[in-house]
Amino acid sequence: MIDTSPSLTLVAVIVVLVTVGVYLMLERSLSRVLLGIISFSNGINLLFLVAGGVAGGAPIIGQTPDGEMSDPLPQAMVLTAIVITLGMTAFLLAMAYRSWQLNEHDEVQDDLEDRRVARRAAADLAAFEDADVEVTTTLDEDAAGAHDETQGGDRP
Amino acid sequence: MTLHDLSWVVPLPVVLPLFAAGLALALWRHARAQRIISLVALSLVLVASVTLLIAADAGPIVLDVGGWAAPVGIDLVADRLSTLMLTVSSVVILCVLIYSLAQGIADGDEDTPIAIFHPTYLVLSAGVANAFLSGDLFNLYVGFEILLAASYVLLTLGGTGERIRAGTIYVIVSFLSSFVFLLAIALVYAATGTVNLAQLAERLPEVDPGVQLALQLLLLLAFGIKAAIFPLSAWLPDSYPTAPAPVTAVFAGLLTKVGVYAIIRTQTLLFPDGRADTILMWAALATMVVGILGAVAQNDIKRLVSFTLVSHIGYMIFGIALSTEQGLSAAIFYVAHHITVQTALFLVVGLMERRGGSTSLDQLGGLARIAPVLAILFFIPAMNLAGIPPLSGFLGKVGLLQAGVAMGTPLAYALVAGAIVTSLLTLYAVVKAWNKAFWQTAPVEPPPMTLPRGMTGSAGALVVVGIGLTVLAGPLYSYTERAAETLRDRDQYIFAVLPDGVRGTGQSPEVSQEVGESVDDDLVEEGGEG
């Protein structure tokens, strides 16, 4: 029977990486979210190493005795996951840059239409008005008046 | 095993679009060549899917990729459920492609970076097919990532401010769901020593029940975000409406359904004892009611239709949560119906935006007079969505209600009531949209224009497919019943993948046979430890 109890160091590192990752993903700035995503994904990648059991020799017949090989399958899966995360991270980085180009910040913005619906509901107004009854403001005019935290005045 | 020869068709829906995507990317300067490549590739995928649909009715067709035998190698499995999903999605993908081609030709390709559109769209198609055909949990993850990566690009096409804003939320939420999925895979592997679905079906029942439940809930959480089940659905109505109309249409039709498919597959194959059914039922009820209340509150037609999408995912989860053959059969029928009707509706809404110049219901008006064909194209799928007899939406809902009543528990009756209320509120929401967009006096008379024939034609084709599902509801229902039967009878799937209970049919040479045995030994020992 192979000993499959996980290494305490690995588990501790996973706990730290995932905690940091979750904390940073809750931030508004996209670059911090990105760092959080990298940390989180690395935590999960390490979890695959735990899932693979104890470390052993190279899994090549003739080089390592049968019982002492490490399990190659989780390592193959981790490699795939790392490559996927790399590509996605690059894309997210490009999006953060584009957001900075357009808005001069990379913060996740509010959905204006959602805000508008919520504002009208709070003011106990109808979600829509009939054109037959009265002239209404357009969606864009309303949206421009909606409050957006990311466009506050206290920005540097 | 007379159909064994057909196993070479199984990878085609994945390989063809991927190959075509590479070719289209290489020919990025030649827009016409790109169009022809996409059209040919996706037409061939449709042919392959229909072939598999007919062939898989006799039994699951399994391919061990690269000849590596199943539990260690990766296998693709085409059974009744996956081929039905594949066929419906191929039809939808092809129609949306024609729609976007017509749009590109009409607009002179200036607004959309079409050189990127075609390769990405093909990759999306390959990812969807891979997710449907995968017989391996990790390959399912890869399929999800392929289609998600393509969807990120399509959603932010052109990189305008609004699309970047919506895309940010979509991308981060998708990342999170992928991580949860990956976490679940790592834990599944730690507990069982395999990620092959057939082998998991054999090994998971031996795992400690508490661990089983944790794995089941983690997988449900990951797929629930993708399928937009209620507490996890807030990202969808915010991000979908900003994309170009054809992109929104294909996302709405397919991406959430891939999540639903993954839920059906894992719930029936890996966790057949249905311990998550109660929580799924509550989630289904909340999804239906909360989703449709969101639709009622909206004033933008794209957002309204997005909310109905969330709401109707609840019907499918309802059918799955019943975990009876009747419920599953109705859920599968509903998925097939909903893919076509929701995509058609989004395509028509795209046409309405084009004709009326806006998606706000305050700005639209009088479309019934100026575009009567458009009115018909909107009316049929809208009524179909609401479930007006005799359309397929009605048949799907009746199937679900019958299955719910047959179950007979108080919660099942609550869901039956919820489903009826949701159906009525859907009718209210779409009739409101109809009244305002088509019947009210236009606030601003839109300038006269003719809609490109290719766009109305492809949207019309999907509407006709929706009606076709109604006409062919009898055969389709008997097919979904057989599919549900296959799903409930897990041995059929396991036997197809692992004929001798241990290894697949891949032709491994002698050396890899030895390797396979020693790895198997390791896995068994680890499984015992877990």
Identify the residue among B162, B169, B172 best suited for mutation to test binding to A, counting A beta carbons within 10 A and taking the highest.
B172
- CA-based nearest distance A121→chain B, Å: 9
Give CA–CA dist A15/B152, Å, rounded.
Answer: 29
pLDDT at A3: 61
pLDDT at B328: 92
Partners of A119 on chain B (C-beta within 8 Å) are none
pLDDT at B285: 94
pLDDT at B429: 92
The answer to whether B235 and B170 have CB atoms below 8 angstroms apart is yes
Band of pLDDT at residue B522, cut at 50, 70 and 90:
very low
CATH 1.10.287 fits A8-54+72-103, yes or no: yes
Band of pLDDT at residue B527, cut at 50, 70 and 90:
very low
What rounded mean pLDDT belongs to chain B?
86
Which of B256, B268, B212, B250 shows the shortest CA–CA distance to B230? B256
Instruction: Compare CB distances from A131 to B169, B296, B441 and report the shortest one's residue.
Output: B441
**Angle at the Cα of B306 (from B302 to B311), degrees rounded to 5?**
145
- CA-based nearest distance A13→chain B, Å: 15
> Is A155 or B490 the better-scoring residue by pLDDT?
B490
- The 3-class secondary structure across B47-85, one letter per residue, is HHHHHHHHHHHHCCEEEEHHHCCCCCCCEEEECHHHHHH
Res. B212: pLDDT tops 60: yes
Number of other residues whose CB lies within 10 A of the CB of residue B286? 17
Give CA–CA dist B510/B154, Å, rounded.
Answer: 46
Mind listing the pLDDT tens digit for each residue in B231-258? Answer: 888 888 888 888 888 889 999 889 999 9
- CA-based nearest distance A8→chain B, Å: 16
pLDDT at B528: 35
Percent of chain A with pLDDT over 70: 78
Mean pLDDT is lowest, of B36-40, B375-379, B481-485, B526-530, for B526-530
Q: Do A131 and B440 touch (CB under 8 A)?
A: yes
Which of B163, B159, B135 shows the shortest CA–CA distance to B61? B135
pLDDT at B110: 53
Report the chain A residue with the minimal C-alpha distance to residue B184.
Answer: A44
Mean pLDDT is lowest, of A1-5, A78-82, B154-158, B427-431, for A1-5
Mean pLDDT is lowest, of A43-52, A147-156, B31-40, for A147-156
Give mean pLDDT, residues A45-55. Answer: 84
Whether A149 has its CB under 8 Å from any CB of chain B: the answer is no
Q: Which amino acid is at B145?
A: E
Adjacent-strand bridge partners of B78: B61
Q: Which tokens in the block code for residue A68?
A: 């002492």
Indicate the burial class of B431 (C-beta count within 10 angstroms; 0-12, 13-18, 19 or more): middle
Res. B21: pLDDT tops 90: yes
Report the chain A residue with the minimal C-alpha distance to residue B173.
Answer: A25
The answer to whether B289 and B511 have CB atoms below 8 angstroms apart is no
Give mean pLDDT, residues B469-498. Answer: 88
Give mean pLDDT, residues B82-103. Answer: 91
- CA-based nearest distance A44→chain B, Å: 6
Domain ranges of chain A: 8-54+72-103, 112-147
pLDDT at A43: 93
ipTM above 0.90, yes or no: no
Partners of B168 on chain A (C-beta within 8 Å) are 30, 95, 99, 108-109
Res. B318: pLDDT tops 90: yes
Give mean pLDDT, residues B337-365. Answer: 87
Could you tell me how many CB contacts below 8 A there are between chain A and chain B?
Answer: 136
Q: Do A50 and B186 touch (CB under 8 A)?
A: yes
DSSP characters over chain A: ----PPPHHHHHHHHHHHHHHHHHHTSSBHHHHHHHHHHHHHHHHHHHHHHT-S--B-S-BTTB-GGGB--HHHHHHHHHHHHHHHHHHHHHHHHHHHHHHHHSS-BPPP-HHHHHHHHHHHTT--SS--TTT-----HHHHHHHS--GGG-TT--
Residues 57-96 of A with CB under 8 A from B: 59, 61, 66, 69, 71, 73-74, 77, 80-81, 84, 87-88, 91-92, 95
Give CA–CA dist A83/A31, Å, rounded.
Answer: 20
Instruction: Compare CB distances from A81 to B156, B182, B187 and report the shortest one's residue.
Output: B182
Give mean pLDDT, residues B477-484. Answer: 90
Partners of A23 on chain B (C-beta within 8 Å) are none
Q: Do A95 and B171 touch (CB under 8 A)?
A: yes
Mind listing the pLDDT tens digit for each residue in A9-42? Answer: 889 999 999 999 999 998 888 889 999 999 999 9
Max mean pLDDT among A61-65, B364-368, B400-404, B454-458 falls in: B400-404
pLDDT at B521: 45
DSSP characters over B124-148: HHHHHHHHHHB-BHHHHHHHHHHHH
Whether A139 has its CB under 8 Å from any CB of chain B: the answer is yes
